[in-house]
A and B are shown apart, each in its own frame.
Chain A
Amino acid sequence: MALIEVDNLKTYFHTRNGVVKAVDDISFTLEKGEILGIVGESGSGKSVTVHTLMGLVPQPPGRIEGGTANFDNHNLLTTDEAVLRSLRGKRISMIFQDPMTSLNPYLRISEQLIEPLLIHEQANRKEALKRAITMLEKVGMSDAAKRVHSYPHEFSGGMRQRVMIAMALITDPEVLIADEPTTALDVTVQAQILQLLKDLQTDLGVSVIFITHDLGVIAELADRVVVMYQGHIVEQGDVLPIFENPQHPYTKGLLACRPRLESTFKVLPIVSDYLDETEVDGQIELSEKPDAAARIEAMQKIDEPEIDETDLLLEVNDLCVHFPERSGFFYGPEGWVKAVDGISFTVPRGSTLGLVGESGCGKTTTGRAILNLVVPTSGSVKFMGVEIAGRNAAAMLPLRKRMQIVFQDPYSSLNPRLTIEQALTEPMVVHGIGSSHSDRRDRAAALLEEVDLEPQFLRRYPHEFSGGQRQRICVARALSLEPEFIVCDEAVSAMDVSVQAQVLNLLKELQARRNLTYIFISHDLSVVKFMADTMAVMRAGKIVEQGSAEVIYANPAEDYTQRLIDAIPRDSVGSIKQRVT
């Protein structure tokens, strides 16, 4: 019997610019004891769906226009707030995407963990605390009795997500809704969390609705899957048939665009390679592109440029970056955090070096030290034979033009108050590129075209773009100075797989076109493998393994590398079969 039955649900948002049909007439069910995956790109309405069920859609601007959602004789859409509150957190729990912001930073986690018990079960605090500790132990937190009194900021992202899970499950709910719970996490941590959810689901018999944009995760976890696109369900069913034989072109695109470790694509297929939109009578029809198969075929065949291994653009030698742990009052610092601890590598012109490792391993600091954004403690960084470590701002200025960086978070790396035009032309002004205002604007327009954006966007503000578009703008901004060398610092980590594929393709294309040299920093080996020629694996500030990407992937010398490889979800049909049967 279905635990939750959703029928013809419609949630619209009434904004100043018109009605946005975020969820438009969808129906699905959640069976007892199953894991239902909802998959789709951002903006597809998957989050709004579950928020509607939980009664968390802000009204206004949101409004539930129709449909029913039955749970145990309650229509979740119409039942009054008090009843809904008694269900929320008690029988239906929810965990959110970003564990960094979803826990109250001002309260001890013990306080937050026992809160549902206090409210829903009128438990006394002592009892509740005991259960909280048990629950924390269950989600794999060692020394739970002690750490239960910590504050959220004292935990890593993975640990916080465990706390979130513990908090959601503490009341023994029947349904757990997980809204992209692993998206913000490292692959290795993601693997752990997924494993944990799987285990808990079996242990506790809870039904799970799992929302993700990553089909790989669905393949690892879900029993059934619902594919959403632009507010509609385009396909749903058991996980194996859908992976084996996707019907909808969108599903096909989603399945294809993920860089897989085992694939040999030189260009990643993207959703639009499969999907065709045609407008008929104001309605948009989706259909499969007729030549999709041929296109995908062609993608395997793009040639690699030749790399001259002796033409070294960048030489890093014994680079160290140490941060003072806590500065003493009378004496020097009490200790040093060795973020980067004596690493050396070289990058030939026109090649890509992949830098991988878990978060906190020092890869980001390395990237910034190379650009002199953090001052290296010791060691040398030679760019085209010129030493740049320790140069001051003025001396760096001519070099800034030639080496650029693209950051992880496209949301905070663009100044929200500058239009795209300003963002793109300002570097040119500073470095004296372009002769006049209009010349620079033309260049900016050309840059936008180069990153597959329309030149009309010049007058827009960053917030008017999606994350993928913003990242392209960041790339365009980096390119505005016509650099030879770009550090991509987790440039695609925060993106939906489909968008990620587009950006990765773009980067590759630009590299070929402009003979760029990249350092590509990521925690995701599959992405690095796709991008990089050589690869360095970092752990605790040191490089543990270094060499050709293909070789390392094929034969990882270190356990650590192996672990990174293993963490990547296997979304092959074979692995699903193995799991399901």
Chain B
Amino acid sequence: MFRYIFKRLIFFIPVLWVIATITFFMVRMAPGDPFSDEKEMTEEVRDRIKAYYGMDQPLWKQYLIYLGVTAKEVNKHRVTFASGEDSKEYRREDVNATLRVTATAEVKTMQGDTQWLARFLDQNTTTNISEVEVFRLERSGLLQGELGPSFKHKGKSVNDIIRESFPKSLELGLYSMAIALFLGITAGAIAALKQNTILDYAPMSFAMAGICLPTFVMGPLLVLVFGLWLEWFPVAGWSAWGGEGFFPEGWPGDRVLPACTLGFFYAAMVARLTRGGMLETLSQDFIKTARAKGLTETRVVVKHALRGGLLPTVSFLGPAFAGIISGSFVIETIFTIPGLGRHFIEAATNRDYTLVLGTVLFYATLILMLNLIVDILQAWLNPRIRAQ
């Protein structure tokens, strides 16, 4: 078992690498860049900003830097030497280092432990004024677990953004999944048991309706009815657990509507799949055995049929769960939830290169992990698979 998991985990690496590579070049090829805006800046400013983010390097080098294979130049700054000036000693507060830079583009660290480098930027032989750029090399990229700084959200790193927003998406996803599974499995199981009766048609029609009504219709509809007309739940927002607002009343009511919106959609899918799976299982011989034992119909279903009937649902849940817990752009926008889903779309529309790559890789890892978990879960549900 552990060997199997280990083997699968090893396989993640090439897959993630391929995804990172394709995505990296894809986003770079897309028109527009992170800096373009309705108010245009001059080419010079643009070039300097690009240089700041290392985008003046050839693309392949940027790629290697992103991967963390090649070191990048950081903490760049310029030192200008007037004619006759030999060296300068000064202190850099931000990295806690004191440096001595010479006019011959040499640099010595007086205090601090990082290795600094320097090169000529501009050497004017007639005036003897020279400009030296001082920098140090740092390797930080995928290999080091760094996803880089966000272009759009200045001062935030992609790691921070994911760390901050994922728990919210996860929380919402778990609620939605609970709703989807509870409603979907119940409806699907009942429909299968009472095949071709009203108890089959009714839930299945609702399921169909759930599929027909996209979330961008369902969401506002629920908000309108339960938020504004009946005033049962807040229409939007995401209050912190234990924070101000709702906690005194016991629970954050703002979870209800988004979770239902997202949940209903998946409940519809789950219901259809469960019904199919249950019908299959209910026709098996061992159900006859269970009935011959004198079990009640409920017990037959819950104990004997459900497990097998859920297998197709479980395999659907892998990618679905990855989607649901990495957030939904539509839901998060409608309900202003600070989740990960918005970053997926907004990063792409902002051409926030690093954030796009970060979210994609995060999502890919999730999918791979969840597919693995689903396989393990299936093995758990189905001992025959376990044996293999």
Contacts and interface: CB of A to CB of B under 8 A. Distances in A.
Contacts of B294: 84-90, 116, 119-120
B381 A96 contact: no
Contact of A93 (B288, B290, B292): B292
Interface in B246-303: 284-286, 288-296, 299, 303
A89 B288 CA distance: 12
Given A96-B285, A105-B382, A106-B308, A88 B387 contact: no
A101 B292 contact: no
A370 interface: no
A167 B293 contact: yes
Given A105-B308, A329-B7, A56 B291 contact: yes
Contact of A96 (B289, B295, B296, B382): B289
B39 interface: no
A74 B115 CA distance: 95
Contact of B286 (A86, A101, A154): A101
Interface in A82-110: 84-90, 93-94, 96, 98, 101-107
B140 to A, nearest CB: 32
Contacts of B293: 88-89, 93, 115-116, 119, 167
A507 B383 CA distance: 41
Interface residues of B, number: 25
15 contacts: A56-B292, A88-B291, A89-B293, A89-B295, A93-B292, A96-B288, A96-B292, A102-B288, A102-B289, A105-B383, A106-B382, A119-B294, A164-B289, A167-B293, A329-B3
A153 interface: yes
Nearest to A108: B383
B119 interface: no
B285 A102 contact: yes
B152 interface: no
B286 A104 contact: yes
A56 B290 CA distance: 11
Given A56-B288, A105-B382, 17 more contacts: A54-B292, A85-B296, A88-B293, A89-B292, A89-B293, A90-B294, A96-B288, A96-B292, A101-B286, A103-B286, A104-B289, A105-B383, A119-B293, A152-B383, A153-B384, A154-B387, A164-B289
Contact of B383 (A84, A86, A120, A153): A153
Contacts of B295: 85, 89, 115, 119
A151 interface: yes
Contacts of B290: 104, 115
Given A154-B387, A329-B7, A105 B286 contact: yes
Interface residues of A, number: 31
A100 B286 CA distance: 9
Contacts of A104: 286, 289-290, 304
Top 10 A-B pairs ranked by shortest CB distance? A89-B294, A88-B294, A89-B293, A151-B383, A101-B285, A106-B307, A94-B292, A104-B286, A85-B294, A102-B285
Contacts of B3: 329
A101 B285 CA distance: 6
Nearest to A153: B384
A88 B308 contact: no
Contacts of A167: 289, 293
Contacts of B291: 56, 88
B175 to A, nearest CB: 28
Interface string B143-161: 0000000000000000000
Contacts of A94: 289, 292
A94 B290 CA distance: 10
Task: Name which of B3, B284, B293, B294 has the most chain A CB atoms within 10 A of its CB.
Answer: B294
Interface string A105-145: 11100000001100110000000000000000000000000
Nearest to A115: B293
Nearest to A164: B289
Among A102, A151, A167, find the residue whose CB has the most chain B CB atoms closer than 10 A: A102
A566 B274 CA distance: 49
A153 B387 contact: yes
Contacts of B299: 119
Nearest to A101: B285
B361 to A, nearest CB: 25
A88 B299 CA distance: 14
A152 B285 CA distance: 14
Nearest to B286: A104
A90 B292 CA distance: 10
A192 B289 CA distance: 22
A115 B299 CA distance: 10
A54 B285 CA distance: 15
Interface in A47-65: 54, 56
Contacts of A107: 303-304, 307
B387 A102 contact: no
Contacts of B285: 96, 98, 101-102
A102 B383 contact: no
Nearest to B285: A101
A102 B293 CA distance: 12
Contacts of A152: 383
B364 to A, nearest CB: 23
A452 B291 CA distance: 41
A447 B268 CA distance: 51
Nearest to A90: B294
Contact of A106 (B7, B288, B296, B381): B381
A567 to B, nearest CB: 25
A85 B297 CA distance: 10
A85 B296 CA distance: 7
Contacts of A151: 383-384
Nearest to A150: B383
A153 B299 CA distance: 22
Contacts of A154: 387
Contacts of A164: 289
Nearest to A104: B286
Interface string B337-367: 0000000000000000000000000000000
Contacts of B308: 105-106
A96 B295 CA distance: 16
Nearest to A82: B296
A120 B384 CA distance: 30
A544 to B, nearest CB: 29
A85 B384 CA distance: 30
A385 B266 CA distance: 63
Interface string A564-578: 000000000000000
B202 to A, nearest CB: 21
